[in-house]
Structure 1
C-alpha cells in the first residue's frame, strides 16, 4: 500500500535539515580482573547521556574443537537447549522475563567458544546476569527437556545442507585440520538423537570452569559487572555434587581408564600431556595441526563454491595478524555495496568478474584462531563458469603474494 502523505505537509519543511551527530562516548582503559571464582571480568563503561543500553557476554572456551570423537555434536546441542530450562527458571520464564524487561538473550558457538550474550537496559542487568548465571551453572538436560529441543538441531542441519557456502566452510576445516579445529560446529546427522544428558553434563563439567570463562561488558561499569559475576558458582566448584548424578563416564576428556571406574577430577590444562593420537580423550587438548588436503562435495545445486586456503596465522601473533589482514584487504573482501558487482573495486573480484562475464564473485579469506589460522580465497558462482573463475583467482592470488605494490598497500 502506498503512503498517502499530503504535499502541503512537505512544503512546510523549509530550509536544509541535517541528522543529529551522536554524542561522543566516554572511553576508558579496559582492565581485566580475575575474581575469586577464577572468572575474568572486563568492562568498558561507554554510557552516554542519550543511551542506557548495555551488553554482557560470557565467553567460554567450550567450542566444537574441544569435542572428542565420542562427543561430536555436543556443542550444537548446547546451543539448541541453552534457553530451555535452567535451575529454578523454565524456558518460558527465561525468555519472557528478559523480553518484558526490554532485553535480548542469544547463544552462539564457534570452534573455540560458546558465547552467551544479553543486551538491554543497564538498570535491568542485575536480573539479566542472574538468568545467565542459571543457564551457565544450573542447566537441566533431562531427556524430556533435551528431546523437546532436537527440532532446532534438525532445522539447523536442514538449512546448513542447502547453503553451499557454509558447507564449503565446514569442509575446509575438516580437510585442513582433521581433528579439534576440524570438528564442525554442526552436529553430524549420525549423532542426532544420540547426544544424551550424560554427554552434555560431562562436557559442561570439563569446560565450564572459572579459568575458562571471560565476561565482557559494554555500557556497564566495571564495579557493577564484578558485583553481578562474583556470586556465580562455576560447575567445577560443585563438581562432587554433579558427579553423583552421572552414571556413564564415557566421553569425559579427563577420564582415566587405568584408575577407578568413576570419573576423576578435571586436571589443569598445563598438566595434560601431549600424547599420541591413540589416546582420543586427550585430543581436545592437543594444539591444532595443519594437514591440508582436498575434499569435494557433490549436490544438485547449479551454483558452486570453491575455497583455497593455506596455513595462516593465529590471533596471538599480532604482527603477522596485522600483515595477513592487510593482505586480505589487498586481495579484496567481496562486494561491499548493495547490488554492486564488485568489479573494479578489488583484485580478486575484478579478475573473476572479467573472466566469467560477472557470473562469479571472489573474496579473500583470513581466518584466525588461538593457535592456527587459514589464509586464501573463496570463489562462488555458477558451476559451469567455475573453472575460468578459479584460474583467474589463482593467478591473482599468486601474483599478489609474490609482488605487493605500494599503492594497493596504502589503500588497504
Structure 2
C-alpha cells in the first residue's frame, strides 16, 4: 500500500476558526481528476448565471446519523463519513489512539482485505483519505460520479467494518515512528500549548506519544470504535451527490446506537518548555477564547486574528500587520517570524501568537508580543481589513472542493447545521469594530498559557509576562 499523505486544512467562518493542525492519510495515492474550464466567448452574452447549489441537511430517524449534501454537479463526487471522536475523547492510558486509528485506515476489514480495498479503489480511479483533529475523524472517498456506487462499499468497510488484526497493526509501527520524527517545530509547539492550556481532553495531542507505540492493541482500538463511532456522533456529507443518494448510503451504515459525549473542556493555563539544541527558538502564547457554542464571539475572534495579523498575504512578502509592526522595535525583522493564532473548538478556544526566532532575541520578542496581546492597538481600518480577509477566505473555500466538503462536515458534526457561504459572509459583515475591540479587551485579561521549544536561554517564564 502506498504511503499515507499528511494534509492540513482550515475550516472557514464560524467553523473556519479551527486552526489546529490536522493529520491526514490516504489508502491509495491517486490524483483527483479536475473538470477543465473552457470559455466560449461567442456565447458569453447569452449565458445566464447558474443558481448556486444550496447545502441540504437532515437527521435520519433510523440510526440518528446526520446527512448533508451539496449537489453542485461536480464531475468528482466526494463522500465523507465523520465521527465526533478525536483526540479529546482519549484517556490518559489511551493517548495516541486516534493517531493509530488514522494509520489503520485501509487495513483489512470484516469484508475486505487491504489488497482488495487498494486494488479496487485504484481500478475505479478513486482515492480514500483519512483525517483526524481534536474533535473528529473523517473517512473521505473521492471518485468520478459514474463509479461512486461501486466504491461506496469500500468506504463503508474502511469507516465502520474495522477488525484491527494484530499483525497488520505491528506492520504500521515504522510509519508511526517516521511520522513522529517528521513533525515540524511549529506543530510541536502548538501541541505543547494545548497540553499546557487544557492538560487533558483538548490537551491530548494529535500525535501518539512515543511511549504508546506498540501498546495500542486490537482490543483498545475496537473498544474506542464501539464507544464513539455511534449514530448520534456520526455525519455523512457529500459534494457532487444528491441528498437522497447520501441518505440511502448513510441509512445502511452499521453504527452503534449509544449516545456518548466527551467531557466539557476545562481551561487551566500554564507553561511547558522543552530544551533542545537548535538554531531557532519556537514559542506560542495564548489565552482562552470563544468556542463555537458562542457563535458571535467566535466570529469576532476570527476577525480579530486577521486584523492583528496572520502572516503575509503574498508569498515571500513582508509582514505589515499591527502585531508585527509593534513587535519590530524589539528585534530586526529578519530575526523572527510571527503570526496571530486562533483555534475554536465546540466549547472552548485559544487565541494568541506563535513565533520563531534566533535565540538571542526570542525573549524580547516574546515579551513584546505578549504585551501586545494584553493590550492590542487596532484601528477601524485594521478591523475592516480583517473582515475583508475573512470574507475572502470564506468565498475561496467555497470554490475549493476538498475545503467545501471539510467545512460542510465540520458544520454538520459540530453544529448540526449547513451554512451557505453567503450567510457566513453576512455574519462577518454584522460584526462591528466595537465588538472586535471588546473581545480583544476580554482576551487581554485572560490567564496565559505558554509553550516553548529549542534554545530557551532568553525565553521568559510565564510569570514574567505582563
Q: Tell me the TM-score normalized by structure 2.
A: 0.70
**Distance between the aligned counterparts of 1:165 and 1:25, measured in 2?**
42
| From 265, 268, 274, the counterpart of 1:297 | 274
Aligned to 2:119: 96
Aligned to 2:220: 199
SS at match of 1:154: helix
Please say if residues 60 and 251 of structure 2, whose CA atoms lie closer than 8 Å, have aligned partners that are also in contact: no
SS at match of 1:307: strand
| From 171, 174, 184, the counterpart of 1:148 | 171
Task: After TM superposition, list the pairs within 5 Å mapping 1:13-412 onto structure 2.
Answer: 20=39, 24=50, 26-47=52-73, 51-160=74-183, 163-234=184-255, 236=256, 268-269=259-260, 285-342=262-319, 344=320, 346-353=321-328, 355-400=331-376, 404-412=378-386
Deviations 1:7-47 (A, max 9, x none): xxxxxxxxxxx984998564124222324122111101111
> What is the Cα-based RMSD across aligned positions, in Å?
2.1
Please say if residues 279 and 359 of structure 2, whose CA atoms lie closer than 8 Å, have aligned partners that are also in contact: yes
**Distance between the aligned counterparts of 1:331 and 1:289, measured in 2?**
26
Unaligned 5+ segments in structure 1 are 1-17, 238-265, 271-284
Deviations 1:65-98 (A, max 9, x none): 1111221111111011111112221222212322
Please say if residues 312 and 373 of structure 1, whose CA atoms lie closer than 8 Å, have aligned partners that are also in contact: yes
Q: Tell me the TM-score normalized by structure 1.
A: 0.78
Deviations 1:296-318 (A, max 9, x none): 11112211211110001111211
**Distance between the aligned counterparts of 2:90 and 2:260, measured in 1?**
15
Unaligned 5+ segments in structure 2 are 1-36, 387-466
1:222 and 1:19, CA in 2 relative to 1: closer, same or farther beyond 3 A? closer
* Number of aligned positions between the proteins: 342
**Distance between the aligned counterparts of 1:404 and 1:350, measured in 2?**
12
Instruction: Give the structure, 1 or 2, with the largest relative contact order (CA under 8 Å, sep 6 or more).
Output: 2
Please say if residues 337 and 356 of structure 2, whose CA atoms lie closer than 8 Å, have aligned partners that are also in contact: yes
Aligned to 1:240: none
SS at match of 1:54: strand
Query: Rg larger in 1 or in 2?
Result: 1
**Distance between the aligned counterparts of 1:93 and 1:336, measured in 2?**
44
